[in-house]
């Protein structure tokens, strides 16, 4: 007999097999000293057999009162493949498989999580303050498109000033290319990016260079192809809540405890076994939970426990701009560390492109909006939003600046253009440099999208390799979404929408890393700004309370960092034409007592492709060049004796 029965499934809080890790996964296949323990939740099934291909055996698992089937197979071992037979019928991959060597429809691989030998053993994790986030898609970041190929670029990212890499979703999904939001095997890193230890190698090598890694995870829907969870239980999904991507996930109805445990274990798995430094939680506005403790709040508590002594960060994408995402659980929040600010992106987009269609229509792109979002994190904090036809956002109070993630580009905002155009294509270079300075020096946490630092010319198109049946539907859905932009709703524009299933859509989205050299000016520009942010003690404080701003003209602003030691900083940004500000009845422009302003940096530096640096401040007053930004430091000047 090769199966030892178990009377009760192990708790998710149980340490299980002896290990230095503070948390151990119990769902799926767990390698133990005397075999492999299998565990799967299927409360509506009467019988489940585990079929291990390599030993040619099929044995029945025991069911407990909670609906968990489990058992220890003594002849199974790491490296073998297996599936589950449900009620003497069809076989399916493990919903908690750690790797799917033949894709989501094939058998699951037994992986020993302790087999990988970590080389960076003293990594302490990351916290939000001081981070420079870099969002990347593994398949498009390099021409090879694997995690091992991405390792070769870590030194360059380190030198650039990146401190935290955010990987777009890597959970296994159907097809050869995908943005990652169609994941169905949520515990299995995609085979397209490497073997079952590729992600661990990438994280390990990043940590060796002092770079953290977080992962984008999707807990609001499943992909349309290869999701076998409903075969194990109908309780995973529900129609009680609306969801734009199919059925919503059942976090608060009958059977929800088993569903919640599945996702909590998934989050803890990435953090504990793969040593990721946190998660970016996709579209929290589409995660519905009317129960007493929201699933995101419960997940955040378990995630930190799974990290042990390491610090981890959890970041929300929340279109509704709920400030509770980053408020402590004990105050009724969800306990996350950061939240994306679409407001900042949308204001900047309108400011430098002049286009305000669709969801951009609720923004004017004014310098006052820019100052407001920098001081407040969000500009919509409960006001009615015309595009959505309802109030948007919640009130921001004392939440730290580091908790708001700002960006000029991300995968969605680039991909939502007809041709996947980056903002470099849409905006004047000088205006963009001026705005980028404000973006990278503001107290909030900046996030760059891969290639942004060197002005990548490659687009980032929407791509998804689905089968012949699904591909036309996905293509039509993409056209329908883009038609929300009036300029993309015309027949000519609709005909020009790239087909997501076309290999060319994926291949064209890959970075040309040689542009780091051919676009040296803009690359130098970003690296210098990131170095300035990192090394300047005033800019690095990330304190919203110590800054103030003023409108100097129709497209010009001043942002001042105040210090108790009078070591202030002043940033002048002008997105419009030359501005003569004489006289200057604005107190933020006043020097510190018995001091003066010294020019530190300018976006007009010829090394960045600018026309040449001209100090806008003279004895005659302020003469501010158009489409530029300048940074000043306060200094005391010696007072001559009388």
User: Per residue in 11-53, pLDDT tens?
Assistant: 433 333 434 678 999 999 999 999 999 999 999 999 999 999 8
For the question of residue 172 being annotated catalytic, the response is no
DSSP 178: B
Strand, coil or helix: 235: helix
Mean pLDDT score, 165-170: 98
For 175-310, where are the E strands, in sequence order?
A: 185-189, 212-217, 237-238, 248-249, 278-281
User: Per residue in 377-425, pLDDT tens?
Assistant: 999 999 999 998 999 999 999 999 999 999 999 999 999 999 999 999 9
**Are the C-beta atoms of 625 and 614 separated by less than 8 Å?**
yes
* Closest to 341 in 3D by CA, of 259, 445, 221: 445
Q: What percent of the chain has pLDDT above 70? A: 96
Give the pair of three-digit tokens for residue 609: 């492709």
Q: Which of 317, 444, 453, 536 is catalytic?
A: 317
For the chain, the average pLDDT equals 94
Query: Scanning the structure block, which residue is given the tokens 């490659």?
Result: 458
Q: Would 3-109 and 546-636 be classified into the same CATH topology?
A: yes
User: Per residue in 200-238, pLDDT tens?
Assistant: 999 999 999 999 999 999 999 999 999 999 999 999 999
The reported pLDDT for the residue numbered 159 is: 98
Domains of the chain by residue range: 3-109, 133-344+393-532, 345-392, 546-636
Mean pLDDT score, 529-558: 97
User: Per residue in 313-355, pLDDT tens?
Assistant: 999 999 999 999 999 999 999 999 999 999 999 999 999 999 9
Decide which of 25 and 639 is more confident.
25
Do the bridges between strand 569-574 and strand 617-618 make them parallel or antiparallel, or are there none, so unpaired? Answer: unpaired
Rounded distance between C-alpha atoms, residue 558 and residue 542, angstroms = 17
Rounded distance between C-alpha atoms, residue 281 and residue 267, angstroms = 10
The reported pLDDT for the residue numbered 449 is: 98
User: Per residue in 286-301, pLDDT tens?
Assistant: 999 999 999 999 999 9
Rounded distance between C-alpha atoms, residue 2 and residue 170, angstroms = 34
**Helix 342-353 with 367-376: angle, nearest 10 deg:** 160
Q: Which of 94, 204, 216, 282 is catalytic?
A: 282
User: Per residue in 64-91, pLDDT tens?
Assistant: 999 999 999 999 999 999 999 999 999 9
Residue 265 burial (CB count, 10 A): 23
* Closest to 183 in 3D by CA, of 191, 194, 173: 173
Give the pair of three-digit tokens for residue 172: 């296994």
* Closest to 82 in 3D by CA, of 116, 50, 113: 50
Q: Any idea what the Cα angle at residue 582 is, between residues 576 and 585, rounded to 5°?
A: 100
User: Would you list the DSSP string of 513-550?
Assistant: TTHHHHTHHHHHHHHHHHHHHHH-TTGGG--GGGEEEE
**Are the C-beta atoms of 571 and 438 separated by less than 8 Å?**
yes
Q: Which class would CATH give 546-636?
A: mainly beta
For the question of residue 282 being annotated catalytic, the response is yes
Long-range contacts of 91-95 (CB under 8 A, 24+ apart): 91/51, 92/228, 92/231, 92/232, 93/185, 93/228, 94/28, 94/29, 94/38, 94/40, 95/27, 95/28, 95/40, 95/185, 95/186, 95/228, 95/229, 95/232, 95/262
**Are the C-beta atoms of 529 and 441 separated by less than 8 Å?**
yes
Architecture of domain 133-344+393-532: Alpha-Beta Barrel (3.20)
Rounded distance between C-alpha atoms, residue 591 and residue 30, angstroms = 65
pLDDT band at 504 (very low <50, low <70, confident <90, very high): very high
**Which CATH number is 3-109's, of 1.10.101.10, 1.10.1790.20, 2.60.40.10, 3.40.50.2300?**
2.60.40.10
User: Would you list the DSSP string of 136-151?
Assistant: E-HHHHSSS-SHHHHH
The reported pLDDT for the residue numbered 10 is: 38
- Element at 560 (helix H, strand E): strand 556-561
Strand, coil or helix: 61: coil
Model-wide pTM > 0.75: yes
Rounded distance between C-alpha atoms, residue 98 and residue 101, angstroms = 10
């Amino acid at each position: 007999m090769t199966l030892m029965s178990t009377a009760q499934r192990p708790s998710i809080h149980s340490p299980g097999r002896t290990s230095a890790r503070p948390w151990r996964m119990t769902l799926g296949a767990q390698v133990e000293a005397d075999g492999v323990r299998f565990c799967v939740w299927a409360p509506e099934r009467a019988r489940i057999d585990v079929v291990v291909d390599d030993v040619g055996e099929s044995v029945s698992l025991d069911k407990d009162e909670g609906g968990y089937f489990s058992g220890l197979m003594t002849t199974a071992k790491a490296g073998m493949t297996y599936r589950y037979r449900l009620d003497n019928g069809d076989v399916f991959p493990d919903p908690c498989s750690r790797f799917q060597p033949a894709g989501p429809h094939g058998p699951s691989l037994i992986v020993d999580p302790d087999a990988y030998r970590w080389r960076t053993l003293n990594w302490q994790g990351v916290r939000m303050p001081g981070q420079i986030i870099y969002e990347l898609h593994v398949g498009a970041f390099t021409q090879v498109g694997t995690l091992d190929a991405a390792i070769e670029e870590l030194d360059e990212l380190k030198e650039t000033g990146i401190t935290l890499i955010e990987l777009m979703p890597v959970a296994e999904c159907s097809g050869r290319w995908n943005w990652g939001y169609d994941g169905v095997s949520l515990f299995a890193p995609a085979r397209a990016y490497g073997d079952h230890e590729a992600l661990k190698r990438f994280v390990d090598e990043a940590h060796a260079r002092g770079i953290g890694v977080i992962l984008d995870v999707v807990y609001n829907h499943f992909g349309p192809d290869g999701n076998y969870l409903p075969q194990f239980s109908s309780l995973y999904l529900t129609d009680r809540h609306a969801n734009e991507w199919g059925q919503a996930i059942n976090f608060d109805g009958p059977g929800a405890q088993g569903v919640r445990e599945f996702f909590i274990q998934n989050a803890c798995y990435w953090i504990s076994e793969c040593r990721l430094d946190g998660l970016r939680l996709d579209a929290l506005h589409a995660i519905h939970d009317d129960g007493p403790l929201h699933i995101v709040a419960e997940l955040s508590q378990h995630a930190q426990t799974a990290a042990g002594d390491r610090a981890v960060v959890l970041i929300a994408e929340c279109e509704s701009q709920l400030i509770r995402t980053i408020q402590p659980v004990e105050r009724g929040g969800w306990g996350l560390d950061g939240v994306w600010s679409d407001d900042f992106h949308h204001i900047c987009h309108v400011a430098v492109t002049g286009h305000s269609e669709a969801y951009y229509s609720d923004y004017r792109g004014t310098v006052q909006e820019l100052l407001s979002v920098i001081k407040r994190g969000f500009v919509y904090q409960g006001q009615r939003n015309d595009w959505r036809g309802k109030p948007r956002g919640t009130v921001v109070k004392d939440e730290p600046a580091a908790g708001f993630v700002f960006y000029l580009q991300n995968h969605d905002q680039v991909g939502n253009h007809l041709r996947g155009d980056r903002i470099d294509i849409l905006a004047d270079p000088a205006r963009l440099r001026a705005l980028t300075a404000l973006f990278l020096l503001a107290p909030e946490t900046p996030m760059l999208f891969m290639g942004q630092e060197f002005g990548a010319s490659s687009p980032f198109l929407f791509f998804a390799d689905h089968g012949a049946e699904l591909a036309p539907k996905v293509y039509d859905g993409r056209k329908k979404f883009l038609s929300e932009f009036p300029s993309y709703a015309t027949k000519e524009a609709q005909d020009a929408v790239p087909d997501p299933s076309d290999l060319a859509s994926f291949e064209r989205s890959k970075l040309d890393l040689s542009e780091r050299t051919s676009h040296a000016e803009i690359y130098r520009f970003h690296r210098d700004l990131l170095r300035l942010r990192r090394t300047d003690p005033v800019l690095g404080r990330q304190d919203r309370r110590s800054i103030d701003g003023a409108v100097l003209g129709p497209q010009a602003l001043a942002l001042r960092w105040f210090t108790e030691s009078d070591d202030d900083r002043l940033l002048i940004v002008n997105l419009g034409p030359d501005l003569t500000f004489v006289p200057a009845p604005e107190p933020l422009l006043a020097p510190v007592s018995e001091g003066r302003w010294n020019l530190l940096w300018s976006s007009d530096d010829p090394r960045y492709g600018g026309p040449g640096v001209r100090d806008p401040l003279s004895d005659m007053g302020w003469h501010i060049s158009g489409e530029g930004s300048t940074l000043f430091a306060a200094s005391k000047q010696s007072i001559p004796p009388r």
